[in-house]
Structure 1
């Protein structure tokens, strides 16, 4: 009886404080401990921390680490197990961070590849065989979305649930490893995600936990940039911190919340140029990811995205962006279509999904009453699934980690801005005029 009373009091207190419950009296579990990784002595030339990412039209970048500096950066691949019809030569890098020295980090681009096809590949000429599946070139296409992952028990739960999802690409809006200057945690994170990240492309952008700058000693993002090379060069960007790519009929723009974004910055100029090239007849959906949310009714990180929003929101609005994914706030929230602080039928749907499983715990407290633009909000660990069904309709669902079970807690059908009467498409005179004037 006493346990029931305490549970009721806790639930009531959390509700009054501002946490929105989608599951009635669901009691959120506490943070879980950081995972431990037993020491595993592997041959120094054996590939470790294997992950893949998209690298331009019909190409994929394979990244891995070896402890042997003489290991070649080659990838053998083909459509049959252990029968490789092609070989690609790549590049390698390494970095030092105070007393830490990384292994040899290999980046090799393979292709051209057939769409929606399983390939078998081997890195560096030895070690285990991996397999990957390329995304389709046409609808439908499905994306898994989870930010602020870290390396805790809840991270593993989230990854297990994503592994059960039939998805084509993983999207991560910042805060990957939570290494926080302890560089070996980048290695253990690579080990943790390898089973998923070696089989489906992971497209990521940076968060505050990737910064790792030390004044006068180390610039920020050296670890992130060395290990998670994205297709920035392929998309005309000068920085790995912002880039774009296409999947089927979706154009994705990955922005940097922690690199200059004002109207005089390189990122701002690149974003304008990238949006002007978008052809909504070819990619009818336009989706943007960055780390710090612009629309956030949680008490955590209030106002941190205001400057970036002030600089860039009008560009996204002019281009007709459909969806914006962010992280940073360790909770989930979905908005209506919104622009300039209020609902707008031509604005983007903003989804905060910084609840992948980080060690810092959940952001429980929300502002009351909720803003008129906020549709659904809940402080739970989980992941999202975005299925682009066709050029006009998509199905979004968010899945809470409930006692290690994946429970669909929010879902909505989304309609693209194509045909809405809003300014969309690279050929739109109004959009081009607005972007050029910005």
Structure 2
């Protein structure tokens, strides 16, 4: 801790002139399952306090299992259920290895519901990022795109062509976060994958870039999508799953995450048509999603038919189980803003 001997530099970017800078640094050559101490900053602006994190566990069984906190639809709030989730995360912080937030992150796009005439989008996003720093300072915080990351649609944004253009098509989301899409041949933070321990995690974009994608229908004022050529997301997904299956002797589990459910208490035809056959073909174990502010878990399902019932339904199934974890605490349209 008293001997910080390595340095790494990165990049800085912003998407609004009078807004926060966002800094991203990639640290190379970390050993798996090791604790590293760090501080952020530069000699001119100063440095943060020293914090620590543990690098990802490898696939060697000697590393043992891991624990992840998986949820969606949280949102920033000074009260309500979101506070309960934050307190719970703080309580279990030392027990979990990383957090996986399956979309609808800070709900900055809903800030206008509490103050319709002012521009609060950036204030809420900044507040949220500070609000979760008690977790992110020491734990990986993996994210994927939800519908509430798509754009700012407040009156202030809709009447300003500058704000509307600069805060559309997941711009804030893709600037504020930096997921490992480069190392997994993905596309920005929209689709990518990573390994942790004995599992391979795949992130898909349930909002755009497939036939009848929900956010792809928005426009012409608030268009979303076009992150790849037609069919590119599905081509990438199949290539990633092929590679993951080739490495299954080392990492036997494959988990996929997307914001919208494929199956919950209802079915979602466009997602089923786009993704389900690939999940089946490459033996995806579980698909995690949010969007619906509840918890549900299915039996292994394929083409709207349950494959296995009973206590042993999750033992060597031939189809994917679907888990909705959208109850992180968003009290949409009911809680006070910052």
Partner of 2:99: 170
Cα deviation, residue 265, structure 1: 1.7
Partner of 2:22: 105
Where structure 2 has 5 or more consecutive residues not aligned to the other structure, the ranges are: 111-120, 212-228, 308-316
Aligned partners of 2:264 and 2:297 also within 8 Å: no
Query: Which of 27, 36, 49 is equivalent to 1:128?
Result: 49
Match status 1:119 vs 2:36: yes
Partner of 1:273: 239
SS in 1 for 2:209: coil
Query: Which of 191, 199, 202 is equivalent to 2:138?
Result: 199
Higher RCO (Cα < 8 Å, 6 or more apart): 2
Distance 1:311 1:128, change over 3 A: same
Aligned partners of 1:330 and 1:361 also within 8 Å: no
Shifted more, 153-162 versus 248-257: the winner is 153-162
Aligned partners of 2:38 and 2:51 also within 8 Å: yes
Aligned partners of 2:192 and 2:202 also within 8 Å: yes
Partner of 1:400: none
Query: Which of 314, 326, 329 is equivalent to 1:357?
Result: 329
Aligned counterparts of 2:127 and 2:195: Cα–Cα separation in 1: 30
Aligned partners of 2:264 and 2:322 also within 8 Å: no
Q: TM-score, normalised by structure 2?
A: 0.77
Root-mean-square deviation (CA, aligned residues, Å) is 2.0
Cα deviation, residue 155, structure 1: 1.7
SS in 2 for 1:161: helix
Shifted more, 102-111 versus 280-289: the winner is 102-111
Query: Which of 281, 286, 289 is equivalent to 1:318?
Result: 281
Cα deviation, residue 104, structure 1: 1.5
Structure 1 residues 128-175: Cα deviation after superposition (integer angstroms, max 9, x where no partner): 222212232233111111111101332221122123331111111101
Structure whose CA Rg is larger: 1
Identify, as 1 or 2, the structure richer in strand: 1
Structure 1 residues 239-275: Cα deviation after superposition (integer angstroms, max 9, x where no partner): 3201000001100000111121249421111101111
Where structure 1 has 5 or more consecutive residues not aligned to the other structure, the ranges are: 1-79, 363-438
Query: Which of 294, 297, 300 is equivalent to 1:331?
Result: 294
SS in 1 for 2:261: coil
Aligned partners of 1:330 and 1:353 also within 8 Å: yes
Aligned partners of 2:100 and 2:141 also within 8 Å: yes
Aligned counterparts of 2:52 and 2:199: Cα–Cα separation in 1: 24
How many residue pairs were aligned? Answer: 274
Cα deviation, residue 234, structure 1: 1.0
Deviating 4+ runs (over 6 angstroms): none
Structure 1 residues 183-240: Cα deviation after superposition (integer angstroms, max 9, x where no partner): 2111000011001012110111010000016687423100000001111111011332
Identify, as 1 or 2, the structure richer in helix: 2
Aligned counterparts of 2:261 and 2:198: Cα–Cα separation in 1: 25
